[in-house]
Protein backbone atom coordinates (compact mmCIF):
# COMPACT_ATOMS: atom_id res chain seq x y z
CA UNK A 1 0.00 0.00 0.00
CA UNK A 2 1.30 3.43 -0.94
CA UNK A 3 1.00 6.68 0.97
CA UNK A 4 -2.54 8.01 1.37
CA UNK A 5 -2.52 11.70 0.45
CA UNK A 6 -4.61 14.17 2.42
CA UNK A 7 -5.99 17.46 1.17
CA UNK A 8 -3.28 19.20 3.21
CA UNK A 9 -0.56 17.12 1.49
CA UNK A 10 -1.84 18.18 -1.93
CA UNK A 11 -2.09 21.85 -0.91
CA UNK A 12 1.41 21.73 0.57
CA UNK A 13 2.95 20.40 -2.66
CA UNK A 14 1.07 22.99 -4.75
CA UNK A 15 2.08 25.82 -2.39
CA UNK A 16 5.76 24.78 -2.29
CA UNK A 17 5.88 24.48 -6.07
CA UNK A 18 4.18 27.85 -6.51
CA UNK A 19 6.68 29.56 -4.20
CA UNK A 20 9.62 27.85 -5.91
CA UNK A 21 8.38 28.93 -9.36
CA UNK A 22 7.43 32.44 -8.21
CA UNK A 23 3.77 31.86 -9.01
CA UNK A 24 1.82 31.32 -5.77
CA UNK A 25 -1.40 29.32 -5.86
CA UNK A 26 -2.42 28.97 -2.21
CA UNK A 27 -5.58 31.03 -2.87
CA UNK A 28 -6.85 28.52 -5.46
CA UNK A 29 -9.26 26.00 -3.88
CA UNK A 30 -8.34 22.32 -4.01
CA UNK A 31 -11.15 19.77 -4.28
CA UNK A 32 -10.94 15.98 -3.90
CA UNK A 33 -13.67 14.33 -5.95
CA UNK A 34 -15.07 10.84 -5.50
CA UNK A 35 -16.80 11.16 -8.89
CA UNK A 36 -13.59 11.41 -10.92
CA UNK A 37 -12.72 7.87 -12.01
CA UNK A 38 -10.98 8.27 -15.35
CA UNK A 39 -9.62 11.79 -14.93
CA UNK A 40 -7.07 11.91 -12.14
CA UNK A 41 -6.65 15.67 -11.96
CA UNK A 42 -7.84 18.89 -13.54
CA UNK A 43 -7.37 22.63 -13.28
CA UNK A 44 -10.43 24.81 -13.79
CA UNK A 45 -10.43 28.49 -14.68
CA UNK A 46 -13.04 31.01 -15.77
CA UNK A 47 -12.98 34.03 -18.00
CA UNK A 48 -14.15 37.19 -16.29
CA UNK A 49 -14.00 40.55 -18.05
CA UNK A 50 -11.65 39.15 -20.68
CA UNK A 51 -9.23 37.97 -18.00
CA UNK A 52 -8.54 34.37 -17.04
CA UNK A 53 -9.05 33.65 -13.33
CA UNK A 54 -8.23 30.40 -11.52
CA UNK A 55 -11.27 28.55 -10.19
CA UNK A 56 -10.00 25.30 -8.63
CA UNK A 57 -7.73 22.29 -8.74
CA UNK A 58 -9.57 18.97 -8.62
CA UNK A 59 -8.07 15.58 -7.93
CA UNK A 60 -9.57 12.12 -7.94
CA UNK A 61 -10.00 10.46 -4.56
CA UNK A 62 -8.82 7.29 -6.33
CA UNK A 63 -5.49 9.00 -7.11
CA UNK A 64 -4.92 9.93 -3.47
CA UNK A 65 -6.18 6.78 -1.68
CA UNK A 66 -2.90 4.83 -1.84
CA UNK A 67 -3.64 2.98 -5.08
CA UNK A 68 -0.81 4.79 -6.89
CA UNK A 69 2.80 5.44 -5.89
CA UNK A 70 3.84 8.79 -4.46
CA UNK A 71 5.83 9.56 -7.59
CA UNK A 72 2.77 9.16 -9.82
CA UNK A 73 0.62 11.28 -7.49
CA UNK A 74 3.25 14.04 -7.48
CA UNK A 75 3.45 13.93 -11.29
CA UNK A 76 -0.32 14.42 -11.58
CA UNK A 77 -0.40 17.26 -9.03
CA UNK A 78 2.53 19.03 -10.71
CA UNK A 79 0.96 18.45 -14.14
CA UNK A 80 -2.11 20.39 -12.97
CA UNK A 81 0.11 23.07 -11.44
CA UNK A 82 1.74 23.54 -14.85
CA UNK A 83 -1.72 24.11 -16.39
CA UNK A 84 -2.31 26.79 -13.73
CA UNK A 85 1.13 28.32 -14.24
CA UNK A 86 1.17 28.65 -18.04
CA UNK A 87 -2.50 29.59 -18.34
CA UNK A 88 -2.38 32.32 -15.69
CA UNK A 89 1.02 33.61 -16.78
CA UNK A 90 0.06 33.98 -20.44
CA UNK A 91 -3.72 34.43 -20.01
CA UNK A 92 -4.20 31.78 -22.72
CA UNK A 93 -5.44 28.21 -22.38
CA UNK A 94 -2.42 26.26 -23.57
CA UNK A 95 -4.06 22.80 -23.25
CA UNK A 96 -1.11 20.45 -23.94
CA UNK A 97 0.74 22.54 -26.52
CA UNK A 98 4.49 23.16 -26.86
CA UNK A 99 4.46 25.91 -24.20
CA UNK A 100 2.82 23.54 -21.71
CA UNK A 101 5.22 20.71 -22.52
CA UNK A 102 8.26 22.98 -22.15
CA UNK A 103 7.01 24.11 -18.73
CA UNK A 104 6.58 20.44 -17.71
CA UNK A 105 10.15 19.64 -18.70
CA UNK A 106 11.51 22.71 -16.86
CA UNK A 107 9.70 21.53 -13.71
CA UNK A 108 11.24 18.08 -14.14
CA UNK A 109 8.06 16.12 -14.88
CA UNK A 110 6.98 14.11 -17.88
CA UNK A 111 5.30 16.07 -20.65
CA UNK A 112 2.95 13.24 -21.64
CA UNK A 113 -0.61 14.46 -21.83
CA UNK A 114 -2.65 11.57 -20.49
CA UNK A 115 -2.66 9.32 -17.45
CA UNK A 116 -1.02 5.99 -18.33
CA UNK A 117 -1.10 4.25 -14.96
CA UNK A 118 -4.75 3.15 -14.78
CA UNK A 119 -5.75 0.41 -12.39
CA UNK A 120 -8.81 -1.48 -13.59
CA UNK A 121 -12.05 0.08 -12.41
CA UNK A 122 -13.99 -2.06 -9.99
CA UNK A 123 -17.30 -3.42 -11.29
CA UNK A 124 -20.48 -1.74 -10.05
CA UNK A 125 -24.06 -2.80 -9.60
CA UNK A 126 -26.38 -2.22 -12.53
CA UNK A 127 -29.33 -3.65 -14.43
CA UNK A 128 -29.52 -5.70 -17.59
CA UNK A 129 -32.53 -5.09 -19.83
CA UNK A 130 -33.74 -8.35 -21.37
CA UNK A 131 -36.42 -9.22 -23.91
CA UNK A 132 -39.15 -11.16 -22.06
CA UNK A 133 -39.92 -13.19 -25.23
CA UNK A 134 -36.50 -14.38 -26.40
CA UNK A 135 -34.18 -13.46 -23.50
CA UNK A 136 -31.84 -11.34 -25.65
CA UNK A 137 -29.93 -8.61 -23.79
CA UNK A 138 -31.17 -5.26 -25.05
CA UNK A 139 -29.12 -2.91 -22.89
CA UNK A 140 -27.73 -2.15 -19.50
CA UNK A 141 -28.16 0.77 -17.17
CA UNK A 142 -26.81 1.86 -13.79
CA UNK A 143 -29.70 4.04 -12.59
CA UNK A 144 -32.87 2.39 -11.28
CA UNK A 145 -35.10 5.29 -12.30
CA UNK A 146 -33.91 5.04 -15.93
CA UNK A 147 -34.61 1.29 -15.92
CA UNK A 148 -38.12 1.76 -14.52
CA UNK A 149 -38.91 4.35 -17.18
CA UNK A 150 -37.67 2.09 -19.99
CA UNK A 151 -39.64 -0.93 -18.73
CA UNK A 152 -42.79 1.17 -18.40
CA UNK A 153 -42.63 2.93 -21.80
CA UNK A 154 -40.63 0.78 -24.24
CA UNK A 155 -40.73 -2.61 -25.95
CA UNK A 156 -37.82 -4.75 -27.14
CA UNK A 157 -36.48 -4.09 -30.62
CA UNK A 158 -36.01 -7.79 -31.40
CA UNK A 159 -39.49 -9.25 -30.70
CA UNK A 160 -41.45 -6.16 -29.72
CA UNK A 161 -42.09 -7.89 -26.42
CA UNK A 162 -42.01 -6.58 -22.89
CA UNK A 163 -38.70 -5.76 -21.29
CA UNK A 164 -37.64 -7.41 -18.04
CA UNK A 165 -34.91 -6.42 -15.61
CA UNK A 166 -32.10 -8.46 -14.15
CA UNK A 167 -29.67 -7.09 -11.54
CA UNK A 168 -26.05 -7.51 -12.56
CA UNK A 169 -22.53 -6.36 -11.84
CA UNK A 170 -20.51 -4.86 -14.70
> What CATH number has the domain bearing residue 14?
3.30.2010.10
* Residue 54 is assigned to a structural domain of this protein: yes
pLDDT in tens, 141-154: 999 999 999 999 99
Query: What distance in Å separates the CA atoms of residue 9 and residue 51, rounded to the nearest whole number?
Result: 30
pLDDT on residue 37: 87
CB 50 within 8 A of CB 112: no
Helix (H, G, I), strand (E, B), or coil: what is residue 150?
helix
* Residue 129 is assigned to a structural domain of this protein: yes
Residue segments in the chain with a per-residue pLDDT below the cut of 70:
120
* Residue 138 is assigned to a structural domain of this protein: yes
* Residue 12 is assigned to a structural domain of this protein: yes
Alpha-carbon radius of gyration of the chain? 22
pLDDT on residue 115: 84
Instruction: Give the residues across from 125 on adjacent strands.
Output: 169
Which range marks the domain in which residue 11 is found? 7-107
Whether residue 26 is found in the same domain as residue 102 = yes
pLDDT on residue 113: 82
Query: What distance in Å separates the CA atoms of residue 23 and residue 114, rounded to the nearest whole number?
Result: 24
Whether residue 95 is found in the same domain as residue 141 = no
Whether residue 93 is found in the same domain as residue 135 = no
Query: What distance in Å separates the CA atoms of residue 151 and residue 164, rounded to the nearest whole number?
Result: 7
Whether residue 74 is found in the same domain as residue 18 = yes
Query: What distance in Å separates the CA atoms of residue 166 and residue 47, rounded to the nearest whole number?
Result: 47
The count of domains in the chain is: 2
pLDDT on residue 43: 98
Q: Which of 79, 107, 135 is the last residue of a domain?
A: 107
Whether residue 79 is found in the same domain as residue 31 = yes
Instruction: Give the residues across from 46 on adjacent strands.
Output: 53
Whether residue 83 is found in the same domain as residue 132 = no
On whether the pTM is more than 0.85, the answer is no
Query: What distance in Å separates the CA atoms of residue 62 and residue 47, rounded to the nearest whole number?
Result: 29
Amino acid sequence: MNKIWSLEDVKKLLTETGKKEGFPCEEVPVVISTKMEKTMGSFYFRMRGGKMEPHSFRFSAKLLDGTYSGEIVEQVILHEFVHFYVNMRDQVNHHHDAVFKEACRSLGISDHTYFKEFVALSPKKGYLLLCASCGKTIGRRRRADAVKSIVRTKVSSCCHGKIKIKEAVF
